[in-house]
């Protein structure tokens, strides 16, 4: 499928769309936050969920939070059938623009040591590996790599 950027939209997620993003996680055996936690975060003024849509279908989402002039990129997930078509790059570009509008000076994120696709994505946007949290993830004691991008 040839996805042209012109056919994509990037907009704030609505509460009724929480099931859609959970389904994107479920099909890939990922579980980041429960539906309840996501719904609670939707009322927050410092945590944001945005969805990417193609022909009205939600094909990816991103969650980030801000503290003072820093942003934490908590998750970026693309629907299985739409991977490796530039969707995450499209969303990350939008997030970086939002960060600049909010006068954010640094974006931080954590990623599993084994998650090469995500690390390649971040490196493509010039994020740097700045630290490692050994055995950070409790499920398999995998290391977390911390990346940051200075704006
Ligand atoms: C990581 C993820 C978000 C990338 O989404 P995507 O839409 O496929 O990414 P893009 O098509 O924009 O690719 C951007 C770059 O990522 C890298 N990349 C993407 N998929 C890759 C893969 N399977 N293997 C290696 N590198 C990969 C490449 O460097 C690519 O750049 P290129 O197209 O110039 O080669 C997606 O694989 C995903 O949803 N993974 C599961 C959730 C996850 O792990 N999220 C990150 C932690 S929350």
Q: DSSP state, 6?
A: G
In angstroms, what is the span from residue 129 Cα to ligand 1's centroid? 17
Spatial strand order in the sheet of 70-78: 8-12, 47-54, 57-67, 70-78, 106-112, 142-150, 128-137
Whether pLDDT at 141 is above 80: yes
Distance separating alpha carbons of residues 77 and 62, to the nearest angstrom = 6
* Structure tokens given for 23: 């389904």
CATH code of the domain in which 79 resides:
3.40.630.30
Atom of ligand 1 nearest to the CA of 82: 7
Q: Given this model, what pLDDT does residue 99 score?
A: 98
Cα-Cα end-to-end distance for the chain: 33
Nearest to 107 by CA among 116, 94, 120: 94
Best substitution site from 49, 89, 117 to test ligand 1's pocket, by max atoms within 8 Å of Cβ?
117
Alpha helices in the chain (DSSP H): 18-26, 35-41, 87-101, 116-124
pLDDT tens sequence across 42-67: 888 999 999 999 999 999 999 999 99
Q: What is the mean pLDDT of residues 103-122?
A: 98
Report the pLDDT value the prediction gives residue 112, as an integer from 0 to 100: 97
Question: What is the rounded (10 degree) CA torsion for 33, 35, 23, 118?
Answer: -20
The residue whose CB lies within 8 Å of the most ligand 1 atoms, and thus the one to mutate among 54, 80, 121, is: 121
**Whole-prediction pTM:** 0.96
**Each residue's pLDDT tens digit, 5-22:** 789 999 999 999 999 999
Host domain of residue 56 = 5-150
Distance 121 CA to ligand 1 centre (A): 5
* Total of domains in the chain: 1
Q: Give the angle 73-79-83 at the CA atoms, nearest 5°.
A: 90
Instruction: Tell me, using a 6 A CB cutoff, whether residue 107 lines ligand 1.
Output: no
The C-alpha atoms of residue 148 and residue 151 are separated, in whole angstroms, by 10
Confidence of residue 1 (pLDDT cuts 50, 70, 90): low
Tens digit of each residue's pLDDT (9 = 90 or more) over 78-96? 999 999 999 999 999 999 9
């Amino acid at each position: 499928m040839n996805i042209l950027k012109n056919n994509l939209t990037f907009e704030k997620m609505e509460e009724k769309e929480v099931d859609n993003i959970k389904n994107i996680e479920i099909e890939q055996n990922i579980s980041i936050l429960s539906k309840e936690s996501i719904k609670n975060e939707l009322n927050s003024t410092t945590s944001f969920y945005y969805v990417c849509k193609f022909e009205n279908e939600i094909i990816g989402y991103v969650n980030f939070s801000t503290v003072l002039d820093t942003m934490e990129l908590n998750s970026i997930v693309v629907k299985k059938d739409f991977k490796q078509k530039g969707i995450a790059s499209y969303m990350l570009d939008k997030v970086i623009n939002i960060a600049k509008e909010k006068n954010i000076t640094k974006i931080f994120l954590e990623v599993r040591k084994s998650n090469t696709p995500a690390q390649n994505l971040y490196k493509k946007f010039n994020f740097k590996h700045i630290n490692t949290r050994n055995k950070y993830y409790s499920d398999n004691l995998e290391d977390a790599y911390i990346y940051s991008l200075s704006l």
